[in-house]
Amino acid sequence: MTCADCAAAAERLHGHFTGGCIGCCARAASRSPQFFAARKTGRQDQKYRNLLHQFGLTHEQVKAAYEVDRINHKERRA
């Protein structure tokens, strides 16, 4: 994560994003229905690949953002 909003999202539920922050872009992508579908099916469909291209992200960056974003983990929400 790369900014104050990214750091806050790793610590608690946080819905703010900083424009131009690659971490925020990855975090937003990790909350997308396209990423959800990719996780569920284990496949990167065209819609998800388009999202990655649009934000200039790799799948690895999105997965890393998902792992540290507290909103994605029920056990970390408290």
Q: How confident is the model at residue 77 (pLDDT cuts 50, 70, 90)?
A: very low
Tell me how far apart the alpha carbons of residues 62 and 2 are, in angstroms, rounded to a whole number. Answer: 13
70: number of Cβ within 10 Å: 17
What tens digit of pLDDT does each residue of 25-64 get?
999 999 999 999 999 999 999 999 999 999 999 999 999 9
Burial grade of 46 (CB within 10 A; 0-12, 13-18, 19 or more):
exposed
Tell me how far apart the alpha carbons of residues 55 and 60 are, in angstroms, rounded to a whole number. Answer: 13
Dihedral sign, CA of 31, 49, 65, 42? positive
Write down the pTM of the prediction.
0.86
